[in-house]
Amino acid sequence: MTQNLDLTDIQGNIVKAYGSSGFFKARYLFLRVDDGDKGRDFVGAITSKVTSANEKLKGDDALTVTTNMAFTYAGLQALELPTASLVGFPSDFVMGMSKRKDILGDDGPSDPKYWDKIWQEKVHIWISINGKTSDVVEERYQWILQQIKATGGVTLLRGHCGEDGNGNAVDDLPYQDASVLYEKDGVTPTAKEHFGYTDGIGDPVFDGQTNNAARVIGRGKLTRSGDWVPLATGEFILGHVDEAMEYPQTAPRPDLLSNNGTYMVYRKLHENVGTFNKFLDEQSKDYPGGKELLAAKFSGRWRDNGAPLVHTPDNESKAEWDKKFAAADDATQKRMLTDFTYNEDISGAKCPFSAHTRRINPRGSLEYGVKDAFHTPGALVDRRRILRRGLPYGKVKDETSDKGNHGIIFMALNADIKRQFEFVQQQWINYANDFKQGNDKEVLLGNHSSKDPGKVVLQVEPGSGKPPHFVNNIPRLVETRGGDYFFIPSIGALKLIAGGLVDPT
């Protein structure tokens, strides 16, 4: 049965990724609440422009700019939510991201002490602006500045690293800009990030999100019969039944505060582009398949078009896939990108166990080919999914250097930060027992240490007599530069918060 969602009540960023609807520019603001009364007035003012999931994003009369809002635990305290509501939030959210650094592996250069200055501030409110052009983003930004002035009681926090209007590095920007990357022509938008990979292809699909069954293939959950069905809504939105057949336990009281809301993980991830390019060049010297195949082995997808390794394990099969892909219509292309499982590659010979896509979503393959071992093939996967809602930030000026400000604003949405995001980060990215690979971390996102660099094994066909390939001396390729955990309330709940009307009794 398909779930009916109250789209007018759910914030728009939860149901759709704006970036794929033509909103190529974004700006993220962080504010501190100095006065509860005025702070709530400010929340009320912004709420009038908060984008719901019901708004039209594409077509003639569609929006050109969106606004969304979320709060840290300290923010909800500052807005004077009743204690009986506050105690209902889960401890991961209460602690916030920097205190979870040992769980997340934010050590060495990712340690919170090196984060952008803004993360030393008391971050209470997150506001995002997504726009189809920079101009509309700027316009909405100015409108928000007016609201800050009009209500008072909140301070826009400075301290983001980036560049000023003249391209000089600064560390006190009042906002974080983000943008899709463009082709060399500077006008054609891409879905790529700074290492050259295509991002966000395999985002999960949940019940009520889409009526298009084709979009569920490879993105929902795998059933015993081999079909794909949407994940339970409650994995991503509070107040709905989840994969354990119950309402998410992370919801605070009252229901009107939590229903149709969710949790967001915001992370600013710097990409060490110079190190990555050098590492890839060096490692591919001894790699028989060449540089692009090796880059694909790191991620699970080829850099140029996102072709999944499971169907394109070598240059020959890739060339054939490319031909088909080029000739296919849009729907078929999408299907070619997502319609596969790792059960087709249980040995890892095509897509290794260390590959990013395999680590973050093992696609029902944790039964390791043992027939009917678990209740469902996705039993260990379906409750570990996250919606990714990020965009790249910054520009790479020198492909041989790590310096500068460029990376990904990673935003993950889930009903339970600990069970979903933190689990994937800790157990599947920075550790590999579930993949029977000991402590070997994922190549791209793993918190490899310079003292003790990591290695991974690229599996080959079992019984072929060929040795597997070892990728050695993996450096830290991605560093955390900031972030926190946020609660994204429903629009109805925003109004309750703004009105001081939250009543958990």
Partner 1 sequence: MSNIAGKAYAMNVITPIPWYKVWLNRLIFWAALKIPNVLNGLLTLSLIHYARWVIIPRDKFPRLDPSQPKEDLNYSYMLFFSNFNGSWDQYVDSFTFAIPSGLDLFWKMNVKYPKSVPLTPFHNYIQHNQIDTAHYYNAYPMAASNDVKSAKNVKKALIDFNAASSNKSPDEFLEDYNKLLNQLQNDFGEMRPTPIVSLAAQAVKERVMEEQRQSH
Partner 2 sequence: MANTSGKATALTVLSPIVNQIIDGKSCADITRERCYRLPIHEKSPLAKVPNTYLARLFVLDNVYYESLTASDSIFNFSEITSIFSDSARLKALPRKDQLKSKYLVFSTNFHGDLDEYLTGMWEKWSYDDNGQQRGVQHIWEHCVAFDGVKDSSSFISYMKRCQLDATLFFNGSTDDSLQEQLKSLYLKQEFSKFAAANQGKSAADLQQAFKVFIEKVQPENLDQPSWVPGQSTP
**Applying CB under 8 A, does 468 fall inside the site for partner 1?**
yes
Measured between its terminal Cα atoms, the distance across the chain in Å is: 33
C-alpha span between 95 and 431 (Å, rounded): 23
Which one of 466, 499, 501, 503 is in contact with partner 1 (CB under 8 A)?
466
Which one of 58, 83, 470, 473 is in contact with partner 1 (CB under 8 A)?
470
**Applying CB under 8 A, does 167 fall inside the site for partner 2?**
no
Written as six digits, the tokens of 470 are 């070892």
Which one of 22, 54, 379, 475 is in contact with partner 1 (CB under 8 A)?
379
CB 250 within 8 A of CB 236: no
Pairing of strands 454-458, 391-394: unpaired
Nearest residue (CB) to partner 2, 207 versus 440: 440
**Applying CB under 8 A, does 370 fall inside the site for partner 1?**
yes
Contacts of 143 (CB under 8 A, 6+ apart): 49
**Applying CB under 8 A, does 88 fall inside the site for partner 1?**
no
- Which partner in partner 1, partner 2, none is near 60 (CB below 5 to 8 A by kind)? none
Coil vs helix vs strand at 429: helix
- Of 205, 223, 201, the C-alpha closest to 214 is 205
Coil vs helix vs strand at 145: helix
C-alpha span between 380 and 34 (Å, rounded): 44
C-alpha Rg value of the chain to the nearest Å: 22
CB of 449 to partner 1, least distance (A): 10
Contacts of 320 (CB under 8 A, 6+ apart): none
Written as six digits, the tokens of 366 are 């944790």
Site for partner 1 in 329-358 (CB under 8 A): 347-348, 353
Which one of 221, 383, 388, 406 is in contact with partner 1 (CB under 8 A)?
383
- Which partner in partner 1, partner 2, none is near 324 (CB below 5 to 8 A by kind)? none
* Chain-centroid distance, C-alpha 128: 15
For 70, phi then psi, to 5°, come to -150, 170
CB of 380 to partner 1, least distance (A): 6
Nearest residue (CB) to partner 1, 1 versus 370: 370
- Of 107, 4, 12, 3, the C-alpha closest to 490 is 12
From 117-125, 130-138, 298-306, 459-467, give the range in contact with partner 1 by CB under 8 A: 459-467
- Which partner in partner 2, partner 1, none is near 472 (CB below 5 to 8 A by kind)? partner 2
Q: Is the peptide bond before 254 cis (omega within 30 degrees of 0)?
A: yes
Written as six digits, the tokens of 11 are 């914030």
Contacts of 366 (CB under 8 A, 6+ apart): 374, 379, 380, 381, 434
**Applying CB under 8 A, does 470 fall inside the site for partner 2?**
yes
From 63-71, 85-93, 254-262, 467-475, give the range in contact with partner 2 by CB under 8 A: 467-475
**Applying CB under 8 A, does 3 fall inside the site for partner 1?**
no
Which one of 48, 223, 315, 439 is in contact with partner 1 (CB under 8 A)?
439
Binding mask of the shown chain, residues 101 to 140, with x at each position contacting partner 1 by CB under 8 A: -xx-x-----------------------------------
CB of 467 to partner 1, least distance (A): 4
**Applying CB under 8 A, does 460 fall inside the site for partner 1?**
yes
Distances in whole angstroms, Cα of residue 189 to Cα of each of 157, 192, 328, 395: 30, 9, 21, 14
CB of 201 to partner 1, least distance (A): 25
Residues forming contacts to partner 2 in the complex (CB under 8 A) are 286, 455, 467, 469-470, 472
Q: Which residues bind partner 1 (CB under 8 A)?
A: 99-100, 102-103, 105, 243-246, 249, 347-348, 353, 367-368, 370, 372-375, 379-380, 382-383, 418-419, 423, 426-427, 430-433, 436-440, 454-455, 457, 459-460, 462-468, 470
